[in-house]
Amino acid sequence: MASSAPSLKLKPNAASARVLRGHPWVFANEVEALLPLEQDGEVVECRDRTGRFVGSGLYNSKSQIVWRRLSRDRVTLDAAWLRGALGRAIARRSTEAGKSAPGENFRRLVWSESDDLPGVVLDQFGDVLVLQVQTLAMDKRTPLLVELLTELLAPAEIIVRNDANIRRLEGLPLEVHTRSGQPWAPRWTNIGGIDYWLDLQGGQKTGFYLDQREQHTLVARHCAGKRVLDAFCNQGSFALHAAQAGATEVLGIDSAEDAIMAARKNAERNGVKVSFEAANVFDRFNDPASARDKLWDVIVLDPPPFAKSKSALDGALRGYKEINLRAMQRLVPGGVLATYTCSHHMGDAELRGVLAEAAADAKRKVQVLEFCHQPADHPVLVTMPESEYLRGYILRVE
């Protein structure tokens, strides 16, 4: 029996549309016609050119991505469905692979399409949840999401961080508020054995980069008795872990003055000796005076995304090559380079190519010690490349 629900239909020439290959998105130029405005923020069906049902998804005519799949079945985006999706996402993080560490509750609990909740990102910081909502349909249901999270997890507070610029692509305003209506004051929080002064309501993203917490401890294993440079250090996580692991000298560099101030505060709190400098990392590496400085045993490169769009990829590749080349030149023979990219536009092949070119230009023998990736609580959909964004390598540079 045919459904009477509103539906989008793919264009006749859309036989190769990504959604037919498992991707959860449909773009406006892939459909025959848009639906009436009253369907914005609601669940509609998608059908291929023959009328075959493709799935149920979130619709927004204001977005270039007009449809985001919720399910391959017919579903209703009500309390029961949301409770089930949230519950399944939380349960997946309860497995050993999804835990940050035994006894810790600092992790990503919901990762958008990877958890069948398009546009919903949820991070847990102990008894506080930080929620980001980036799609119109989920934004309309934010009060319900907060209610369900309270029911499922009984947090002390839920901070709704709807201040990401990506919301503008959905026609949504930027705003931040808490469930209680009271401001969440910054405070000391211990993550992975390090105390951080966290501003979950006003800091970057959801307040802390939980996706790198496994890498902090992995890199620290190479730092005992070493001189360590943490480039693009942000709040100083790699530097602090290196110092705690017994590094003899640690320097963190970041261009953001507020990040450096936070990093210094964190170092003082943890009683570790780390120097922090507000500087442009590229300028620091290219400065002739700096080039005469001593070499480092370990260098960490964890820059912000150079490729924020596909059109920016060529320039980003040049930037990644330049910074990795300079780092390789500043390492002692046998030194360790931990290098990362957090742009989904830059795949592993591109990153490997950049590192190979940098190694050739530096005339150094470079070996892979570790392949690095986003943690299990940031799951990747194999049919959605955009869900995979963090990758890197730990390298020995001879």
What is 71-107 written as a DSSP string? Answer: ESS----SHHHHHHHHHHHHHHHTSGGG-SSTT--EE
For the segment 129-156, the average pLDDT, to the nearest whole number, is: 98
Q: What is the mean pLDDT of residues 272-288?
A: 91
Are 239 and 253 spatial neighbours (Cβ–Cβ below 8 Å)?
A: no
165 pLDDT above the threshold of 50: yes
Q: Which is the catalytic residue, given 46, 223, 342, 372?
A: 342
Give the per-residue pLDDT at 343: 85
Residue with tokens 């953001």: 256
pLDDT of residue 206: 81
Q: Identify the pLDDT of residue 212.
A: 95
DSSP string, 235-303: TTHHHHHHHHTT-SEEEEEES-HHHHHHHHHHHHHHT---EEEE--HHHHHH-HHHHTSPPEEEEEE-P
Segment 132-159 shows an average pLDDT of 98
Mean pLDDT of 378-397: 96
The whole-number pLDDT of residue 91 equals 95
- Residue range 339-351, pLDDT digits in tens: 999 988 888 899 9
Computed over every residue of the chain, the mean pLDDT equals 92
Confidence of residue 61 (pLDDT cuts 50, 70, 90): very high
> Residue 286: is its pLDDT beyond 90?
no
| Cα–Cα distances in angstroms (integers) from residue 103 to residues 257, 312, 372, 382, in the given order | 34, 41, 24, 30
What's the pLDDT score for residue 308?
Answer: 67
Enter the CATH code of domain 7-71: 2.30.130.10
pLDDT recorded at residue 315 = 80
Span 79-187 CATH architecture: 2-Layer Sandwich (3.30)
Segment among 167-171, 260-264, 306-310 with least mean pLDDT:
306-310
Same fold, 79-187 and 209-397: no
Quick: pLDDT tens for 209-225.
999 999 999 999 999 99
Q: What percent of the chain has pLDDT over 70?
A: 94
pLDDT at 101 over 90: no
**1: confidence class by pLDDT, cuts 50, 70, 90:** very low
Its pTM stands at 0.92
- Given a cut of 70, is residue 96 above it in pLDDT? no
The answer on pLDDT for 57 being more than 80 is yes
pLDDT digits (tens, 9 = 90+) for 18-36: 999 999 999 999 999 999 9
342 is known as an active-site residue: yes
Distance CA 276, CA 162 (A): 31
pLDDT at 41 over 70: yes
Residues above pLDDT 90, as percent of the chain: 83
Write b or e for each residue in 18-52: b if 16 or more Cβ atoms lie within 10 A of its Cβ, otherwise e: bbbeebbbbeeebbeeebeeebbbbbbbbbbeeee
Would you call 396 exposed, middle or buried from its count of C-beta atoms within 10 A (0-12, 13-18, 19+)? middle
Domain extent listing, the chain: 7-71, 79-187, 209-397
Burial class (CB in 10 A: 0-12, 13-18, 19+), 180: exposed
**Beta strand extents in the chain (DSSP E only):** 7-9, 25-27, 43-47, 53-59, 65-71, 106-111, 120-125, 128-133, 157-162, 175-178, 187-191, 194-198, 227-231, 249-254, 275-278, 296-301, 331-341, 366-373, 391-397
Whether 277 has a pLDDT exceeding 60, the answer reads yes
User: Of 289 and 179, which is predicted with more confidence?
Assistant: 179
Residue 55's pLDDT is what?
97
Residue type for 317, please? L
Predicted confidence at residue 2, as pLDDT, reads: 56
CA distance 340 to 346: 11
Confidence at residue 287, expressed as pLDDT on a 0 to 100 scale: 78
Q: Indicate if the pLDDT at residue 293 is higher than 80.
A: no
Q: Does domain 209-397 have CATH number 3.30.200.20?
A: no
CA of 391: how far to CAs of 165, 317, 333, in Å?
A: 23, 14, 25
pLDDT of residue 289: 66
Predicted pLDDT at 307: 63
Mean pLDDT score, 280-292: 78
pLDDT of residue 291: 55
Specify which residues 25 forms β-bridges with: 68
The whole-number pLDDT of residue 98 equals 47
Among 171-175, 206-210, 364-368, the range scoring the smallest mean pLDDT is 206-210
